[in-house]
């Protein structure tokens, strides 16, 4: 009996490490793939998720190791991602950038969620894509998912929706830049204020040169900084909403990893860590998050998109178009 127990334990460990190794390998492949022409627009995280879905399609299955990557490692990745933020840069950018970020986030979340409900789409996926579009793509969706008790499948569908639309809009921005009659700085603000992932912002701002790129990154990181209060507010609102629906009390979820994200941002803002180490930590953050995306991709059922995601995709498309129009308008108003 003891030998059987030991053998079973060893098998579980092997399965666990196999799952971790698979997601690590897919994440590394995604990192190198993201450096290729055109694929850099998509970004490492989305490529990792697609590779996970392809792995499943080729016969791969989800296990405790891939689940560990998609849940636990994801949170550590989000914590380390805080090293991208420097609050001093955001403060120096001035109140105009902050106001633009707040307006965009409030408008986008409200609009996409309202459109999702209006056309009868899945509410959880709708709020996830709304937050992903409004803030910072996959990272925002991963942070918001536990606040609304979204399943892994719903989370993955939300990430896939934002990834596809973000890539389409990035290409559109690049093609439209010559005819928009915007200065490099204004174009950077538009890209940073309205596009989905950081990879999308960098790719779209590139035609405007360093001036556009710097402006785009500052505006985008200001949106990223607002992830913390948005996640808390979404959690409080969703919990109260559920309490009213089923007449039961629900505890408000506290995403402790978000405070880790804030702590890392604070440490980076103090400039006490050498830039080389900061860059290494950011690389580790994206590697961990890419492993999580690969794990999610392995777990997703592609048929679920047609059943649960098509209407949300339409709502997010319309919301993204309206956000771009709002961003362009605010450039001439503020």
Looking at residue 111, its pLDDT comes to 96
Looking at residue 60, its pLDDT comes to 64
Average pLDDT taken over every residue of the chain: 84
More reliable by pLDDT, 84 or 253: 84
Domain assignment of residue 315, given as a range: 2-333
Looking at residue 67, its pLDDT comes to 76
Looking at residue 189, its pLDDT comes to 93
Spatial distance between the Cα atoms of 297 and 290, rounded to a whole number of angstroms: 10
Looking at residue 255, its pLDDT comes to 63
Segment 100-106 shows an average pLDDT of: 94
Confidence of residue 24 (pLDDT cuts 50, 70, 90): very high
Looking at residue 131, its pLDDT comes to 94
Spatial distance between the Cα atoms of 224 and 19, rounded to a whole number of angstroms: 30
Confidence of residue 253 (pLDDT cuts 50, 70, 90): low
Using a pLDDT cut of 90, give the percent of the chain over it. Answer: 26
Looking at residue 328, its pLDDT comes to 93
Confidence of residue 37 (pLDDT cuts 50, 70, 90): confident
Segment 46-54 shows an average pLDDT of: 84
Spatial distance between the Cα atoms of 194 and 186, rounded to a whole number of angstroms: 12
Looking at residue 195, its pLDDT comes to 92
Looking at residue 8, its pLDDT comes to 61
Confidence of residue 130 (pLDDT cuts 50, 70, 90): very high
pTM given for the model: 0.80
Looking at residue 326, its pLDDT comes to 95
Spatial distance between the Cα atoms of 33 and 308, rounded to a whole number of angstroms: 29
Q: In the structure encoding, which two tokens stand for residue 126, read together?
A: 């709708």
* Tens-digit pLDDT profile for residues 132-177: 999 988 888 888 988 888 887 788 888 888 888 888 898 899 889 8
Looking at the structure of the chain, the number of domains it has is: 1
* Tens-digit pLDDT profile for residues 309-329: 788 999 999 999 999 999 999
State the residue for tokens 């380390």. Answer: 80
Segment 51-63 shows an average pLDDT of: 75
Spatial distance between the Cα atoms of 141 and 150, rounded to a whole number of angstroms: 10
Q: Is the pLDDT of residue 107 over 90?
A: yes
* Tens-digit pLDDT profile for residues 170-207: 889 988 988 888 899 999 999 999 998 887 888 888 88
Half-sphere exposure of 81 (CA within 13 A, CB side): 27
| Residue 38 DSSP symbol | T
Q: In the structure encoding, which two tokens stand for residue 138, read together?
A: 């996959």
Looking at residue 319, its pLDDT comes to 95
Grouping H, G, I as helix, E, B as strand and the rest as coil, residue 135 is coil
Spatial distance between the Cα atoms of 328 and 169, rounded to a whole number of angstroms: 14
Segment 275-302 shows an average pLDDT of: 85
Looking at residue 252, its pLDDT comes to 55
More reliable by pLDDT, 7 or 191: 191
């Amino acid at each position: 009996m003891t030998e059987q127990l030991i053998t079973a334990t060893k098998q579980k460990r092997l399965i666990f490490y196999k799952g971790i190794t698979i997601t690590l390998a897919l994440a590394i492949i995604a990192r190198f793939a993201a450096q290729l022409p055109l694929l850099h627009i998509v970004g490492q995280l989305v490529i990792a998720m697609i590779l996970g879905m392809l792995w499943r399609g080729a016969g791969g299955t989800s296990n405790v190791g891939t689940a560990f990557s998609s849940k636990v490692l994801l949170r550590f990745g989000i914590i380390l991602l805080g090293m991208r933020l420097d609050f001093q840069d955001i403060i120096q950018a001035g109140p105009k950038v902050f106001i633009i970020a707040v307006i965009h986030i409030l408008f986008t979340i409200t609009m996409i969620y309202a459109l999702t409900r209006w056309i009868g789409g899945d509410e959880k996926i709708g709020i996830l894509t709304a937050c992903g579009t409004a803030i910072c793509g996959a990272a925002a969706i991963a942070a918001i998912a536990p606040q609304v008790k979204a399943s892994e499948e719903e989370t993955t569908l939300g990430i896939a929706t934002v990834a596809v639309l973000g890539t389409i809009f990035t290409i559109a921005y690049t093609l439209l830049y010559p005819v928009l009659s915007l200065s490099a700085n204004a174009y950077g603000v538009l890209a940073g204020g309205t596009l989905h992932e950081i990879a999308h912002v960098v790719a779209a701002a590139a035609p405007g040169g360093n001036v556009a790129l710097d402006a785009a990154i500052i505006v985008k990181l200001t949106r990223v900084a607002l992830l913390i209060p948005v996640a808390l507010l979404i959690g409080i609102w969703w919990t109260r909403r559920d309490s009213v629906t089923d007449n039961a009390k629900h505890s408000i979820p506290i995403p402790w990893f978000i405070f880790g994200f804030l702590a890392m941002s604070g440490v980076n803002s103090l400039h006490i860590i050498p830039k080389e180490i900061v860059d290494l930590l950011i690389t580790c953050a994206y590697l961990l998050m890419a492993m999580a995306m690969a794990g999610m991709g392995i777990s997703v059922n592609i048929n679920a998109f047609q059943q649960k995601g098509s209407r949300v995709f339409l709502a997010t498309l319309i919301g993204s178009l309206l956000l771009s129009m709002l961003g362009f308008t605010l450039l001439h108003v503020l």
